[in-house]
Amino acid sequence: MADPRTPVVLYGGSGYVAGELFRLLAAHPGFRVAAFVSHSQVGQFVSDPFPHLHGAARGARFVGAEEALASVADCPAIAACFATPHGETARQVCAALDLIEGRGQQVRIIDLSADFRLPAETFARLYGTEPAAAQRLEQFTCALPDLAHTALAGTGTLQHIAHPGCFTTAVTLAAYPFLVRGWVEPDLFVSAVTGSSGSGRMPTGGTHHPDRAHNLYAYAPLAHRHEAEMRRLLTIDGREPEVEFVPHSGPFVRGIHATLRFRLRGERTLDELRGAIDATYAGSAFVASTAIPPQLRMVVGTNHARIGLAVRGRTLVVTSVIDNLVKGAAGGAVQWMNRLFGLAPESGLSHDGLGWY
Ligand SMILES: NC(=O)c1ccc[n+]([C@@H]2O[C@H](COP(=O)([O-])OP(=O)(O)OC[C@H]3O[C@@H](n4cnc5c(N)ncnc54)[C@H](OP(=O)(O)O)[C@@H]3O)[C@@H](O)[C@H]2O)c1
């Protein structure tokens, strides 16, 4: 009997996010990884760079893009996930779409890179180069799955998805409930700390273990590329908020802890403020407020986001935690895939975290 699960072509080889996508999809009831594309490890076992996935990998090997796309030539509908570096991703997406569309197959792309998140001129300003596939930008929607209605309001349809960055995810989820209600001034300061897996697998001077372990430092203060994504996703009724964003490198591997400071337009009780979060995300199984300040261990390994609050007079402080590799990337991608392919929102994502790791 034919396998009823939708085939997924996974790009990103030995990268951290690709490994997480493989882990999540291997346990998913509605999808199967039909091919895992690498540019440097073709023919190698998937379990070589991911020894913790030996069960899921079961002897699978990395393939090149051509072989991967040939292996799904007979499938009427496919998903393709890209966890590859920006710039390179747009070229690979275009090559894949040209071939798949030419064969008359249905395809949904989920891109985790920055290549389709921003308008061409913003991308060029921040990345110092024109987008590699400007002709395809309009086919992509950049939005969070828990706030999908904000994206649908514009077009009514969703074709391909450009998943927002991991910092953007933590901050947008925390800020949106208050901005959309007009309860706060559209002017926020954000300080956020990320674990080292946010920098990907290849070590550089600033991301090498001796520089990060037992250390804490800000990087790109007021100059991080995700600030533009936050401004864009938090633009409500045409009003773009002021966002001042200072990211930090933290001495841990997984997770983002973001602290947002707002000025309230009028005084609000803690119960009212918590109610705004829980009402906004009533339709999402993954986002909720907490009675105590949220901690990374509440979410690491899971697709959950937890949001805490403190209020004094007109000052509102919101703290938000996610796992950068799951909610900020692979889990968010699976959430979108569930939606695009008509599966239950929690499919493949209902597992709890480890708590202590
Ligand atoms: N890390 C995070 O927390 C996070 C969160 C959200 C979004 N993202 C985005 O997701 C994407 C993947 O991130 P990551 O952290 O998994 O990065 P990574 O660990 O550096 O992995 C990227 C992988 O892409 C593959 N690749 C394919 N073509 C390549 C090329 N031309 N040059 C270099 N590598 C190439 C490489 O694996 P092979 O050599 O095996 O092909 C590489 O290991 C990036 O666009 C990143 O910005 C990351």
CB-based burial label for 87 (10 Å; 0-12, 13-18, 19+): middle
pLDDT band at 154, cuts 50/70/90?
low
Tell me the mean pLDDT in the region 25-46.
98
Spacing, Cα 201 to ligand 1 middle (Å): 7
Q: Whose CA is nearest to atom 9 of ligand 1?
A: 113
Architecture category of domain 166-325 in CATH:
2-Layer Sandwich (3.30)
Q: Mean pLDDT check: name the lowest of 48-52, 294-298, 353-357.
A: 353-357
Interatomic CA distance for residues 27 and 5, integer angstroms:
12
Q: Which residue has the tokens 């959430």?
A: 335
- Among 9, 10, 16, 127, say which to mutate for ligand 1: greatest number of ligand atoms within 8 Å of CB: 16
Q: Are strands 217-218 and 242-249 parallel, antiparallel or unpaired?
A: antiparallel
Percent of the chain whose pLDDT exceeds 70? 99
Q: For residue range 216-253, what is the model confidence (pLDDT) as tens digits?
A: 999 999 999 999 999 999 999 999 999 999 999 999 99
Tell me the mean pLDDT in the region 80-100.
97
Q: For residue range 247-295, what is the model confidence (pLDDT) as tens digits?
A: 999 999 999 999 999 999 999 999 999 999 999 999 999 999 999 999 9
- Other CB atoms within a 10 A radius of the CB of residue 163 amount to 32
Spacing, Cα 311 to ligand 1 middle (Å): 39
Q: Whose CA is nearest to atom 14 of ligand 1?
A: 200
* Domain ranges, ordered by start, for the chain: 6-142, 166-325
Nearest-atom number in ligand 1 for the CA of 13 is 40
Tell me the mean pLDDT in the region 209-213.
89
Interatomic CA distance for residues 238 and 234, integer angstroms:
10
Nearest-atom number in ligand 1 for the CA of 329 is 6
Rg, C-alpha atoms of the chain: 20
The reply to whether ligand 1 has any atom less than 6 angstroms from the CB of 40 is yes
Q: In the chain, where does DSSP find H-type helix?
A: 16-26, 54-57, 65-71, 88-102, 120-127, 148-155, 166-180, 209-212, 226-233, 270-280, 331-340
- Which pLDDT value is given to residue 283? 95
pLDDT band at 156, cuts 50/70/90?
low
Q: For residue range 319-352, what is the model confidence (pLDDT) as tens digits?
A: 999 999 999 999 999 999 999 999 999 999 999 9
Contact assessment for residue 322 and residue 305, using Cβ atoms and an 8 Å cutoff: yes
75 part of the active site? no
Same fold, 6-142 and 166-325: no
Percent of the chain whose pLDDT exceeds 90? 92
The reply to whether ligand 1 has any atom less than 6 angstroms from the CB of 196 is no
- Which pLDDT value is given to residue 155? 62
Contact assessment for residue 229 and residue 165, using Cβ atoms and an 8 Å cutoff: yes
CA distances (Å), 144 to each of 122, 216, 228, 283, 351, in order? 19, 29, 15, 13, 20
Spacing, Cα 115 to ligand 1 middle (Å): 13
Note the CATH number of domain 6-142.
3.40.50.720
Spatial CB neighbours of 32, under 8 Å, sequence gap ≥ 6: 3, 5, 6, 7, 8, 25
